[in-house]
Amino acid sequence: MKLLDRYIGQAIITGVMLVLIIFIVLYELFAFAGETNQIGQADYTVWAALEYSLLRIPQHVYELFPLSMLLGTMLGLGWLANNNELVIIRMAGVSLLGIVGSIMKTAIMLMLFAMLIGEGIAPPLYQYASDKRIKALHGHINMNTNFGLWARDGNTYINVNSVRNDGHLIGIKLYQFDDNNIIKRRIHASKAVYDEAGKHWLLKSVRETVHVNDSFTIKRSKKMKWKTLLDLNTVKIVAVRPELLSIWKLNGYIDYLKNNDLDFAKYELV
């Protein structure tokens, strides 16, 4: 049976890899084409766009692997059937259950390979590619996206607890410093929505603390306009997509959301 397992497994693996390669080539061509409209913006060159597309290949492999396994297995078994090899195997005394067992052994091995890519290789490469793209496109903003968003816009430091997939910011803290690196203003807001017409953020439930010498004053308001280089497109890029996190990163992010009293239900579902 070991010889039979290897023979059937070789046919299936060949079929799966052939289908996967075709899918990846087509997928990456369209992905690169989608980046061409950004080429020339700031430091984002053709090579930067190509590097970004190539670094995302493991993530695309992971996403396309189930469909590739289905079609590749059918293709591999089709080759064996067309050459009457499946008939010969049955005539040699191998039961249908034995053939299915050989197929399942290969399938389990391919599933483990996909899990290795999806949990160990794809997430860090995807994050690295996204970070490089952000820095190339928005060199005027320094960003750190580990568990929340930290950004610097001139003398203002920005902290956001979470970014929703629609681009809304939750839990915003702004720290403004003077030229001597002394804090002069702090702003806390529960939520921020981007006004595309006015090209500014609208902060809601705002508490503003202004420092003057050794004293400070506190102002509260329902709404406040906030103009910054941090635009909606940049925020959407760094929004944490749960399906792109590894299991341990996902678990750590859920703990982070719980500790900050933020909604974590969709991440637990993933």
At 62 the pLDDT is 92
At 232 the pLDDT is 73
**Tens digit of each residue's pLDDT (9 = 90 or more) over 179-209:** 888 888 999 999 898 887 767 889 999 999 9
φ, ψ of residue 112 to 5 degrees: the values are -65, -40
At 13 the pLDDT is 95
In angstroms, what is the C-alpha Rg of the chain?
26
At 29 the pLDDT is 92
Give percent of the chain with pLDDT exceeding 90.
31
Separation of alpha carbons 248 and 241, rounded Å: 14
How distant, in Å, are the alpha carbons of 88, 93, 103, 112, 196 from that of 97? 15, 11, 10, 22, 61
What fold, for 142-239?
A: lipopolysaccharide transport protein A fold (2.60.450)
At 26 the pLDDT is 94
Could you say which residues of the chain have pLDDT below 70? 1, 138-148, 165-167, 198, 233-234, 236-241, 260, 262
At 181 the pLDDT is 82
What are the start-end ranges of the E strands in 123-267?
A: 142-144, 149-153, 156-163, 169-177, 183-195, 200-212, 215-226
At 75 the pLDDT is 95
Per-domain boundaries in the chain = 2-137, 142-239
**Tens digit of each residue's pLDDT (9 = 90 or more) over 13-22:** 999 999 999 9
| 47: DSSP letter | H
At 269 the pLDDT is 86
**Tens digit of each residue's pLDDT (9 = 90 or more) over 96-114:** 898 899 999 999 999 999 9
Residues 69/107, Cβ–Cβ less than 8 Å: yes
Separation of alpha carbons 5 and 59, rounded Å: 29
